[in-house]
Amino acid sequence: MIQRIQSIWLLLAAITILCLLFVPIMGVVSSAGYHTLYGSGLKITGAEGSATNIPLLISTVFAGLISLVNIFNFRNRKLQIRIALLNIVLILALSVWFFQIVNGISGATQFDLEPGIYLSLVAIIFTLLAIRGIKKDEKLIRSADRLR
C-alpha cells in the first residue's frame, strides 16, 4: 500500500525540508561580514568560522524525518493526517525561527532572499497535497465498506 500518491507527496516534502540543510535560506550583509542562513545555522563569510545551531539542525532534520516516517503509517490514515498537520506546524515554526535568527544579527544593513526561503512553502504545499490524497483514500475505503 506504499504505492500511493500521498507517499510521493510526503517523500517530496521530506526531500524539500532536508534540502534546507544545503540550500541557503537568506543572506544578510552586516558589519561583521556576509551571513548566510542554512537549516543548520549561520555561515559567516568575511569572518572566522560558522555558527552551527544544533537545536535548529535537529529540528530541521526532525521535520524531514517526520514526513519520511509518515509514509509507512498508511494503515492508520487518521493518525497519518494528524502527523502531517503536526509537520506543517513544525515547518511553520522553523520558518519563524529562521526569521528570528536573521533579525537577531546585529548591524544588518541588507537582506538577500535566497532560493531556500521558498522551500518551506513548497514542503507545506506537498504535505497539504498528501493530506488531500489521504482523505481521498479514507473516502474510498468508507464507500467500499458500505458496499459490503
The pTM is what? 0.89
Q: How far apart are CA 52 and CA 38, in angstroms?
A: 9
CATH architecture of the domain covering 5-143: Up-down Bundle (1.20)
pLDDT in tens, 16-45: 999 999 999 998 888 878 888 898 888 888
Q: What's at 42, amino acid-wise?
A: L
* Cα separation, 54 vs 31, whole angstroms: 25
pLDDT score, position 141: 80
Question: Nearest CA to 70 among 140, 15, 116, 6?
Answer: 6
Tell me the average pLDDT across 50-71: 90
Buried b (16+ CB within 10 A) or exposed e, 73-112: bbeeeeebbebbeebbebbeebbeebeebbeebeeeeeee
Give me the residue spans of the domains in the chain.
Answer: 5-143
CB 67 within 8 A of CB 14: yes
The pLDDT, as a whole number, for residue 53 is: 83
Q: In whole numbers, what is the pLDDT of the chain averaged over residues?
A: 88
Question: How confident is the model at residue 107, as a pLDDT?
Answer: 78
32 phi/psi in degrees, rounded to 5: -85, -10
67: pLDDT strictly greater than 60: yes
- Select from 25, 53, 11, 38 the least CA-distant residue to 113: 25
Name the strand (E) or helix (H) holding 87.
helix 77-103
